[in-house]
Amino acid sequence: MIRARKSMTPFDWELLLDRLSEFYGTGDWRRPYLRDHAENPFQVLVGTILSQRTRDANTDAASARLFARFPDARGLAAAPQKEVESLIRATGFYRVKARVVRSVAREILDRFGGTVPRDYAELVSLPGVGPKTANCVLVFGYGIPAIPVDTHVHRIANRLGVVRTRTPEETEARLREVVDPKYWIPLNPLLVQHGQNLCRPNRPLCPQCPIRDQCATGVALRDGRDPPRPDDRPGRRRPPGAERAPRAARRSGPRATPTPRSTTSPARSTRRGRRRRRRPRAGPS
């Protein structure tokens, strides 16, 4: 049974996470390559690097093959490049990824004695490790509260209206301010699950969404209003009197009269047109 929303402000993260957990069923919603290697920070780290720009199924298959052969930093640091390439081929960009994971393994061995660091700054100092990967290691490898922000978390946080950001890095910084740390660990797995099912990049399935009444986009679309946009964020508001017309009015409103095209107007002059005018005409000799 989905509970009614307790309050509108501050944002009720507990209710949101409860509803998503209930909707998708209780269980572990971490992606398999994270779940299967949880509490092994090295495998979480390497699995997350392999997951970049590929599907989860490919990451799962490649991770299983790689870790069956080279389960730790010592083994992977000494692994031949070609063998690693062939083991992770399914992930795409396998030559680059093989180089990166081998050098990560070497640095973990040389700089940290074979143990993946638990410190964010040290993690992002490793080759190929950005904020999302570092936060995945903290959350899924060590159980330390952090907010890994991928495209799903970035998109949904903006649609909910709890942030107005342009990049995942901005989203992470803002979420750290507005979300109580006790909700950080389940936030990523549940929002990723939601982003892969209902809150898709294109055509989100809002009428089926269990958190629609908490979502600025879902409520706006239901009421025929424009959803919030990044340029509505504080400091980027339009001046008074310059608001966008409501969605319905814009759709039915009169169209601007098109400006007639003029072949002589310099403003309408195109590079192609200029080239055409310069080209000598073929004519009777």
Fill in the amino acid letter for 121. A
Stretch in the footprint of ligand SF4 (CB under 6 A) among 9-17, 47-55, 56-64, 205-213: 205-213
Q: 44, 76 in Cβ contact below 8 A?
A: no
Closest CA to 160 of 210, 235, 224: 210
By beta-carbon proximity to ligand SF4, the closer residue of 61 and 190 is 190
215 is an interface residue for ligand SF4 by CB under 6 A: yes
Q: Binding string to ligand SF4 for residues 4 to 43, with x set by CB under 6 A, is what?
A: ----------------------------------------
CB burial of residue 134 (10 Å; 0-12, 13-18, 19+): buried
Residue whose CB is nearest to ligand SF4 in the complex, by number: 218
Q: 238, 250 in Cβ contact below 8 A?
A: no
What is the number of helices (H) and of strands (E) in the chain?
16, 0
218 is an interface residue for ligand SF4 by CB under 6 A: yes
**Number of amino acids touching ligand SF4 (CB under 6 A):** 13
138 is an interface residue for ligand SF4 by CB under 6 A: no
List, in sequence order, the alpha helices (H) in the chain.
Answer: 13-24, 32-35, 41-50, 56-69, 73-77, 81-87, 94-112, 120-124, 131-136, 142, 151-160, 168-178, 184-197, 216-222, 247-252, 271-278
128: left (phi over 0), alpha (psi -120 to 50) or beta: left
Among positions 93, 159, 173, 196, the unique one binding ligand SF4 when judged by CB under 6 A: 159
Q: 88, 98 in Cβ contact below 8 A?
A: yes
By beta-carbon proximity to ligand SF4, the closer residue of 202 and 259 is 202
Stretch in the footprint of ligand SF4 (CB under 6 A) among 145-153, 173-181, 215-223, 233-241: 215-223
By beta-carbon proximity to ligand SF4, the closer residue of 73 and 199 is 199
In angstroms, the Cα distances linking 87 to 45, 97, 106, 181 are: 17, 11, 18, 38
Among positions 16, 134, 147, 206, the unique one binding ligand SF4 when judged by CB under 6 A: 206
209 is an interface residue for ligand SF4 by CB under 6 A: yes
161 is an interface residue for ligand SF4 by CB under 6 A: no
By beta-carbon proximity to ligand SF4, the closer residue of 87 and 156 is 156
123 is an interface residue for ligand SF4 by CB under 6 A: no
Residue 249: CB minimum distance to ligand SF4, A: 22
Contacts of 71 (CB under 8 A, 6+ apart): 43
Residue 200: CB minimum distance to ligand SF4, A: 8
By beta-carbon proximity to ligand SF4, the closer residue of 156 and 179 is 156
Binding positions for ligand SF4, rule: CB under 6 A: 156, 159, 198-199, 204-206, 209, 211-212, 215, 217-218
